[in-house]
Amino acid sequence: MTAVGPAAARPGDPAAEEVGEPGAVAKGAEQDVWAALGRRYAVGPSLQPTLDELSRPGRSSHKVPHAPPDALAGVPAEHRRREPLALPELSEPDVIRHFVNLSQLNYSVDGGFYPLGSCTMKFNPKVNEWAARLPGFAALHPLAPDALAQGTLELMWELERWLAEISGMAAVTLQPAAGAHGELTGILMIRAYHHARGDTDRREVIVPDTSHGTNPATASMAGFRTVTVRSAADGGVDLEALKAALGPRTAAVMLTNPSTLGLFETRIEGLLDAVHEAGALAYMDGANMNAVLGKFRPGQAGFDVMHFNTHKTFSTPHGGGGPGAGPVAVGPALVPFLPGPRVVREEDRSLRLERPGERPHSIGRVRSYQGSVGVLVRAYAYLLAHGGSGLVQVSEDAVLAANYLRRRVGEAYELPYEQACKHEFVASARQLKARSGVRMLDVAKRLIDKGFHPPTIYFPLIVDEGMLVEPTETEPLETLDAFAEALLEIAAEAEADPELLRQAPHEAPVRRLDEATAARQPDLRWRPMTGAQTPCPD
């Protein structure tokens, strides 16, 4: 083993000292496992051993028939695995209890208030889960001939049209797998657009200093240099700074609107005019589209391309960090460059996927097959349930709730921007820190003790000791009030007993973690096992 892995784990880590002790866990080591977990047995929702520590030789569950002895006769020995496969040996009851107990260590939207700004942790409707699991959707092969896929193709066709209406754009691709993937798709289309016009000197992408990290990272990945422009005092993009940065080398400007501060760009007309006057295109990061459904249509306003995050705006589950989907909508100029295959309606009303090479200017594929279709089914179910009027109500309720909560939180925390917020707001603990020494991190950790998931903290970076709070439209007033009360209590605790906050959380499954050691001596997998302990049934 080299620097990464079990051998690099800290001395005294029982798991690290067991290398070469496969499958079963030795008796003494087992006691050490419990010591490491701070408990004596594996039942109940507290820290759990790993699957390899739970493994016992001979345990299994009979899920598929046993293969005949000569099953691999056609596979030459040189290609075959020589060492038996080293996976944990478990019974189904072991597996279920392990994961159910682990699940209970998680905070979730189903269980509580999750005001993580920029992430839109709203309720995930249950009928959407049911729909995505319908066998007609779930069992459809991605290369099935079009004739077998008319239902899903119809859903995709319809969803594209809903998203075109919402965005005010000409056309939509559903292929990108996530918002950042949508950004890459959009920026590559912009690149192709300029190149198709022979305009190959545009090597820069401009982003504001409040942008999501994915924006500059996307620009780099697409081969552009990032130019960052500062924000004005009111939180919006500084128009003069943008104009100074724009030029014949600018390919695109990426704007998040409403911004990551939760503010609508009030100078949006001037910004878009300046971008287009410079011959550049305007990309809208649609992460915050949930605030302005039916209130602001980016294509109509002059943006050339945008992505949606279905897991934000249309409430597809976040899944502990994915999967998402990142449909991209484009104005007329970019339609020829959309990735393929697109869904095409034939004269007889049947639907089909484009064939390779059908659109010569397409940037090509950004992934295999057609996209995160299972996620798109959920998004479509969400849209159907709301309809046009319901989507407008979603934004109105989200913005109303955010402004209400902002007003209440402002009783004890600094609100750095005066403008009414959209779906989220920034508050700062700068003054609290000056008075008591506690940081926003400590406030966030103390919220855990009060039963809440903390907001996003220290983003956007331009706000000192900032938290970005997004209540969403699906939290009742009582929850908003309780959260505000908790933050006010914490502000009082900060002055009375700052140490209480610095040590928080006190009532979570674990306390604060040693993140420095985790990075200095990365332990990224359990110790290698050396193969199944029982012979294969054949």
Partner 1 sequence: MAYSPHTPADRGRMREALGIDTVDALFDDIPARVRANGLDLPEPLSELEVARQLQGLAERNRTGVTSFLGAGAYRHHIPAAVDAVLSRGEFYTAYTPYQPEISQGTLQTIYEFQSLIAELTGLDVVSASHYDGAAAMAEAALMTVRATRRNRVLASRAIHRHFLDTARTYFAGGEMTLEELPTAADGTTDLGALERELASSDEPVAGVLMGQPNAFGLLEPMAEAARQAHDAGALFVAVVEPVSLAVLAPPAEYGADICVGEGQPLGIGLQYGGPYLGLLAARPDLVRQVPGRLVGRTTDVEGRRAYVMTLRAREQDIRRDKAASNICTNQALCALAATVYLATLGPHGLRDVAALGAARARELEQALAAIGVERVHSMAYLNEFAIRVPDAQAVHARLLERGVLAGLPLARWYPEDEQLRDALLVCATEVTSAVDIGHFAEALREELP
Site for partner 1 in 10-49 (CB under 8 A): 10, 13, 15, 36-38, 47-48
Nearest 10 degrees: Cα torsion 288, 289, 293, 298? 130
Given 320, 349, 418, 434, the residue binding partner 1 (CB under 8 A): 320
d(CA 298, CA 166): 9
77 burial via Cβ count (<10 Å: 0-12, 13-18, 19+):
exposed
Given 43, 44, 99, 495, the residue binding partner 1 (CB under 8 A): 99
Q: CB 113 → partner 1: shortest distance, Å?
A: 12
User: What residues numbered 367-396 form the site for partner 1, per CB under 8 A?
Assistant: 367-375, 377, 380-381, 383-394, 396
d(CA 288, CA 423): 8
Question: What does the DSSP 8-state code read for residue 237?
Answer: B
Q: CB 158 → partner 1: shortest distance, Å?
A: 9
User: What residues numbered 394-453 form the site for partner 1, per CB under 8 A?
Assistant: 394, 396-397, 399-401, 403-404, 407-408, 419-420, 422, 444-445, 448, 453
User: What residues numbered 325-354 form the site for partner 1, per CB under 8 A?
Assistant: 325, 339
d(CA 424, CA 443): 18
d(CA 208, CA 229): 5
Q: CB 196 → partner 1: shortest distance, Å?
A: 13
Residue 223, CA distances (Å) to 61, 335, 531 in order: 50, 21, 44
Taken in order 477, 289, 255, 117, is the CA torsion positive or negative?
positive
Q: CB 311 → partner 1: shortest distance, Å?
A: 8
Give the residue with the Cβ less far from partner 1, 266 or 435: 266
Given 243, 249, 276, 365, the residue binding partner 1 (CB under 8 A): 365
β-sheet with 281-285: strand ranges across: 171-173, 328-330, 305-307, 281-285, 250-256, 204-208, 225-229
Binding mask 103-122 for partner 1 (x = CB under 8 A): xxxxxxxxx--x-x--x-xx
User: What residues numbered 252-311 form the site for partner 1, per CB under 8 A?
Assistant: 263-264, 266, 268-269, 292-297, 300-302, 311
Q: CB 444 → partner 1: shortest distance, Å?
A: 7
Give the residue with the Cβ less far from partner 1, 40 or 63: 63
φ/ψ (deg, to 5) at 90: -140, 155
218 binds partner 1 (CB under 8 A): yes
User: What residues numbered 140-159 form the site for partner 1, per CB under 8 A?
Assistant: 140-145, 147-152, 154-155
d(CA 477, CA 456): 21
Binding mask 50-89 for partner 1 (x = CB under 8 A): xxx------xxxxxxxxxx-xxxxxxx-xxxxx-xxxxxx
Structure tokens at 70: 């000569």
For residue 498, whether the previous peptide bond is cis, meaning omega lies within 30 degrees of 0, is no
Give the residue with the Cβ less far from partner 1, 247 or 390: 390
User: What residues numbered 479-518 form the site for partner 1, per CB under 8 A?
Assistant: 505, 508-515, 517-518
Q: CB 173 → partner 1: shortest distance, Å?
A: 12
φ/ψ (deg, to 5) at 161: -70, -40
Structure tokens at 45: 């929702």
Contact 405, 483 (CB under 8 A): yes
Structure tokens at 72: 């691999």
Give the residue with the Cβ less far from partner 1, 50 or 431: 50
Total residues at the site for partner 1 (CB under 8 A)? Answer: 230
Q: How far is CA 388 from the centre of its chain?
A: 25
Binding mask 172-191 for partner 1 (x = CB under 8 A): -----xxxxx-xx--xx--x
Give the residue with the Cβ less far from partner 1, 244 or 510: 510
